[in-house]
Structure 1
């Protein structure tokens, strides 16, 4: 335990780096998920096929290989990425490929009648996605997207392989210096568990919030309809 107390500042710095990588990677993941997920539903093959190739490529290959490719292989083609940039790109694109299927599945599960009604009202595909379909699909997306974000957080431990000084990287440094193994890795295990639990709580809160919003809107719509009908 003395090693943990002595090296607490190093672990704190690693924790902050882990959180930063998770936030940046998660943001990229969501952007990629909605872009690729909606593109896979496009009626145009020139949009749908590249999105499908991207999703299957990043889902079908190892995250470690992708991370090594961004950091170690791209310099042979004249592209040198900062370790943090390579790590965020690999995490965001890999998890975004999985999340894209979540988005696609949630949107596809919407009743066909809603799309037909939007077409009858003259809405463009982009407008009906933005105003009608995606907002109504978000509650169905939240639980699996929450799982993707937890998985992304846990996979941040791999960024130490491309020299990003995250929590796992700092723990390995302390272990090589002090020889402590059990106490150090038990400590970071608890840290990862706490972060994952916080993400799960945030997801559950968002689910409840969207459920309450939908219930409130439903009540308002019912009151509006009763007002139109008037007293019997």
Structure 2
């Protein structure tokens, strides 16, 4: 019989773990990424420097290295967490750097005249960020953030390297028994493609709904 059908229950459970990781890390990375962007454009030099160092670190260090470091080094430092939450935290921190860069590019699209108008109305920097700058920046970078979310969904596969039983880990375990790599990994690839397609379509729909008329 088809090993994918025989192990449909285990694959569905592993797919659920993949989706759960992608959703939680996706939401977390967007929130954290916006906060990092705010720090990058703030008038406080130390915040700008810290945010710059944060983004450069996570953009230039491989995700797999970060996962291995978190799983094997943090317990030695006395911080013990289950594997799945650890992977989610690392994915959130890693992808938030890319979200921050996308949102920062959106900040640059906000017309300077609107920022000056906010100042003329007496808005503080924080208030102008909340009311004027960040909302428009987010609306202009929906598709880039969608691309980051697609990359995040694909990157969940790396969690298999540190023992998280997600989709890639499960199908690899099935293949070790069934020895049908073309069939099994093609099936997994189609599932990942479906996830990417859904995210892409959702991002396109949101982008059309919130598009800024220039």
TM-score range, shorter chain: over 0.9
Map of 1:105 onto structure 2: 105
Residues 175 and 184, structure 2, Cα contact 8 Å, conserved in 1:
yes
TM-score relative to the length of structure 1: 0.89
Normalising to structure 2: TM-score of the pair? Answer: 0.96
Deviations for 1:125-166, whole angstroms, at most 9, x for unmatched residues? 111111111222222111110110000001111111121110
Match of 1:155 in 2: 155
1:207 aligns with 2:210: no
**Structure 1 residues 1-232: aligned runs within 5 Å:** 2-211=2-211, 214=212
Rg larger in structure: 1
Deviation at 1:108, TM superposition (A): 2.1
* Separation in structure 2 between the aligned mates of residue 146 and residue 4 of structure 1, nearest angstrom: 30
Equivalent pair of 2:106/2:136 in contact (CA under 8 Å) = no
- CA displacement at 1:177 relative to structure 2: 1.6
Deviation at 1:105, TM superposition (A): 1.3
The gaps in structure 1 that reach 5 residues or longer are 219-232
- Partner secondary structure for residue 79 of structure 1: coil
Deviations 1:2-54 (A, max 9, x none): 21111111111111010000001101110111011111001111211111111
* SS of equivalent to 1:119: helix
2:126 & 2:139 partners in 1: Cα distance?
20
Q: Per-residue deviation at 1:85?
A: 1.4
For 1:43 and 1:2, locate their aligned partners in 2 and report how far apart those are by CA, in whole Å. Answer: 60
Question: Aligned with 2:141: secondary structure?
Answer: helix
2 CA distance for matches of 1:112 and 1:104?
A: 14
Aligned equivalents of 2:93, 2:69: Cα separation in 1? 13
CA RMSD, Structure 1 to Structure 2 (Å) = 1.3
| Equivalent residues, number | 214
Q: Distance in 2 between matches of 1:123 and 1:162?
A: 48
Q: Is the 8 A contact 1:70 1:81 kept in 2?
A: no
